[in-house]
Structure 1
């Protein structure tokens, strides 16, 4: 162990002596620097994309929930099924359902309006104050409560 330390100190002394830095040492340092820069940029880019995708998924989910909540409140009646919700509003049947990996909206069983993409699963369930919706999309999952009635604490 002692010989390694003395050899290391001797090498460092040689490097730091007044002789300067050789061209070979500069090229080795430059090559190492050039290897680490692309690796660092690739890691940062991957992290940035993953974070960006999750933020986008959250924003799209919130927008979908806002639209659905408004439509449920304005509807006359609604029926929950495992992967869909159907409501009647002014004599029209409006249905939100999981179709492949998308949530689509149909009016009177016509149309194919995509309101949310890249959905792995969705579940609707009744809650005393409204409807609970659970959305799973890749690594993103969220649970929302749609208030269908206004409640006042007394």
Structure 2
């Protein structure tokens, strides 16, 4: 082994490591990744619609009585709880005993609940003007009360 070729010293390795870490730390600023942040957050999402319907089905099928003034739907449970689904700004929120504020659907311009003997028809119009409609049936007759 030749004594003139001793390789890198510890200080040289630390300087190289420092330079590499500085370059890597500025990499996000150099790449300017905008596509991660440009997703519109306030758009109607079809997946949220599906989750909303599942939650609504669960509430309706657990209830003993339903009420609706077309804009708000109330589901009365055997436990005495009153669950409501109502439009709140551009959102649909769920409340229990007139308390709380659980957002179940967003970017909504209009919602209607039409009660029938065997279920509920839900009609939602998004802020983009699209119309979504679903019918949630019950397994047993429900006492339907229209105020």
TM-score relative to the length of structure 2? 0.61
What RMSD, in angstroms, separates the aligned Cα atoms of the two structures?
2.7
Structure 2 SS opposite 1:111: strand
Partner of 1:104: 93
The equivalent residue for 2:113 is 124
Give the match for residue 143 of structure 1: 133
TM-score by length of 1: 0.59
Structure 2 gaps, min length 5: 1-34, 142-147
Max Rg structure: 1
Conserved 8 A contact 1:57-1:140: no
Distance (Å, rounded) in 2 between the aligned partners of 1:99 and 1:79: 18
Partners of 2:74 and 2:61 in 1: CA distance: 13
Equivalent position of 1:91 in the other structure: 80
Bigger relative contact order (CA 8 A; separation at least 6) = 2
How many angstroms apart in 1 are the aligned matches of 2:131 and 2:45?
9
Structure 1 runs of 4+ aligned residues shifted over 3 Å read: none
- The reply to whether residue 115 of structure 1 matches residue 130 of structure 2 is no
Give unmatched runs, 5+ long, in structure 1: 1-44
The CA distance in 2 between the partners of 1:129 and 1:78, in whole Å, is: 11
Aligned to 2:14: none
What is the CA distance between 1:100 and its match in structure 2?
0.8
